[in-house]
Amino acid sequence: MDTHPTSASRRRFLSLGAASALACARLAAQTSQRIEAGPPAFVDRKRGIHPFRQLGTGTRPHIFLISADMMSPDHWLPGRSVGQQMDLPAMRSLFADSTFFTNAFTTSPLCAPARAALLTGRHTYLLANNERAHDGFEISLRAGDVIFPEYLKAAGYKTKHCGKGHLGAQKYFDAFDENADGWDRWDPPILVDEGYVDHLRRLRVRPQRYAREIFGLQQDRASHGNSLGGWIEQDNGEPFPLEAQYSHYLAHRAISKLDSALQGASGSSPVYLQLDFFDPHQPFSIPEGFQKREAELRRALRLPGSYAAVRARDWAPSPDEPLVYDRYRRYWGLYQAKTVEDYRVAHALQLEIVDRALGRFLDALKQRGLYDDSLIVFTSDHGEMNGRRAMVDKGVYLHPEVLRVPLAVKMPKSAGIKPGVVDHAVSHLDIAPTVLSEVGVQPEERLDGQPLQPLLRDAADAGRKWLFECGWHVGANFACGMQGRMQNGDRYLYSYNIASTVDELYDLRDEDPVNLAKSPDHQPIRKQMVGQLGAFLEKDPRWLAWWSSYRIDHYHTMGRPQGDMQLKGAK
């Protein structure tokens, strides 16, 4: 049930260097300027590629896309007990000013594929991150692809970016400029980022080291395995200050880039700035000043029930799960309950650190008179298991906790849209068309998402459909899936694992969901979801890779396929 624009549940959830005055005044006035309709334009004018039209129905607000990396639904989804313990004033203030989507999803639970879909507005062919992909896999967006900031740049926006990229460098150069710093790796370059190293020098802070470090264990259950980060200090043992932590450096860098865009010859142009935090992704880096919050969280947080179930069977594989889950459990090695307790506390603290950095950036917008009339989008690239099933992080499996993402859309005040909470299902694919629609940019190439503006205005759910996909990370598990809403309003996630006899069906209302695919009571729902996914795969040639095996494995559920299955002449 929608609770737009306000509801009691929403109220419970939400309880949870300046530019010149002349430049700010000029740019604040720019937010209400209308785009005049014109002839077809191109992202690349010389080659005449990626055509688009500028419509007269758009405005030119400043636009800020802010992402965190790997946020657990525990920390933001209404009703979660963990979230009620979190101290997130900046996020909650932004959410209170926004339309907040409680059923938003990434299309893939890995960094690079998730970011590719978000920025292109299209289902992505990337199914792996570059550090683990097999030789020959696509790991970066192709030169012929276009990401939506490129359209904004071609339409006259001054585009800036800082933070994590992980999609290859070229698209960031195309969309921003030669000073784009979307670093192409999964972890932050704290030792080699020259800007950050210089930032530490100016603060007279030495590089970080771990004062307390969280480790998983290898399969012998004794030897240290993966480092998950932890609490940091300077390498001389002195406290590491918050303002020197990497997320806070990125906020500082973003404010500096914003001021550069607001000044000089470019001052008449609206600004698009994209700030991609790495945190709260592990390895954690918790600086000085969070001792009290750590003690409070340790008293409040409890282990998930599914972690206790794994311990009870002594890490034996479960017949109700694809084998990939067992592989990830052995990879993370969370054999000790204390490790999971430490991780959950550190993960919550790391998001609170991001919140402080976010607050600093939002305060800078307000100080420059830009906040009210800007379009601000906040999300994360994917979710996080946060100890469920004795797993953390994410992976190549389609579990609700790694697919859910927060999504807040704060429209310009001039748009006249009241803040609220919406439970319609949406995805990252919808962000590009939403931003482009608001500024009157209409690409002539395909976008797979839909503008969110009708939902912001309390329109009925249009039954949006998209495909979840994953491929290669800690081993291979090629899987696709879909979420669906039943007639009674209940939502389910169904996933098909191509190399496993175990499919998955989850009730999206459950906080620690179990696989219902074999439940006798849920067979009608499973059959309905199997049919919906099959119909989606069959109608689009992009999904023949899935459809070829899907109709074989679901022959007795979907019925006899029509004609020859060899796809003669298919292209």
Q: Is the pLDDT of residue 571 over 60?
A: yes
Are residues 389 and 311 in contact, defined by beta-carbon separation less than 8 angstroms?
no
Q: Average per-residue pLDDT in the chain?
A: 91
Under the banding of pLDDT at 50, 70 and 90, the label for residue 266 is low
How far, in Å, CA of 207 to CA of 199, rounded? 11
pLDDT at residue 104 tops 80: yes
* DSSP conformation class of 173: H
Q: Does the structure show a pLDDT above 90 at 323? A: yes
pLDDT at position 265 is: 56
In the predicted model, what is the mean pLDDT of residues 516-535? 97
Residue 128: phi and psi, rounded to 5, are -155, 155
Q: Which pLDDT score is estimated for 38? A: 63
pLDDT, position 6: 42
Share of the chain above pLDDT 70, in %: 92
Confidence band of 3 (pLDDT split at 50, 70, 90): very low
Give the C-alpha separation, 359 to 234, whole Å.
25
Q: Which runs of consecutive H residues, i.e. helices, occur in 265-407?
A: 291-300, 305-312, 323-332, 337-367, 400-403
Contact predicate 139/130, CB 8 Å? yes
Does 103 have pLDDT greater than 60? yes
pLDDT at 252: 98
Over residues 271-312, the pLDDT tens digits come to: 999 999 999 999 999 999 999 999 999 999 999 999 999 999
Nearest Cα to Cα of residue 33 among 436, 368, 414: 414
Locate tokens 């657990």: which residue? 72
Lowest mean pLDDT among 179-183, 331-335, 369-373, 395-399: 179-183
Least Cα distance to 511 among 417, 355, 404, 413 occurs for 404
Residues 6+ apart with CB under 8 A from 94: 358, 362, 376, 378, 408, 410
For the stretch 231-246, pLDDT in tens is: 999 999 999 999 999 9
Question: Are 406 and 24 a contacting pair, CB within 8 Å?
Answer: no
Selecting from 3.40.50.2000, 3.40.50.300, 3.80.10.10, 3.40.720.10, what CATH number does the domain 17-468 have?
3.40.720.10
DSSP tag of 282? S
Secondary structure (3-state) at 452: coil
Q: Note whether 353 and 360 are within 8 A (CB).
A: no
Alpha helices, DSSP H only, in 420-489? Answer: 431-438, 453-456
Cβ 386 vs Cβ 344: under 8 Å: yes
pLDDT of residue 36: 52
How far is the C-alpha of 395 from the C-alpha of 81, rounded, in Å?
24
Q: What is the CA radius of gyration of the chain?
A: 23
pLDDT for the residue numbered 39: 79
What SS3 string covers 86-132? CCCHHHHHHHHCCEEEEEEECCCCCHHHHHHHHHHCCCCCCCECCCC
Could you tell me whether strands 271-276 and 63-68 are parallel, antiparallel, or unpaired per DSSP bridges? Answer: parallel
Question: What is the per-residue pLDDT for 99?
Answer: 97
Distance CA 75, CA 332 (A): 21
Task: Provide mean pLDDT across the span 89-99.
Answer: 98
d(CA 61, CA 439) in angstroms, rounded, equals: 7
- pLDDT tens digits, 13-68: 344 443 333 334 334 434 444 445 567 899 999 999 999 999 987 789 999 999 99
Q: What is the pLDDT of residue 216?
A: 98
CB 359 within 8 A of CB 89: yes
pLDDT of residue 17: 40
Supply the pLDDT for residue 185: 87
Q: List the strands of the sheet with 224-234, edge to edge.
A: 208-217, 224-234, 284-286
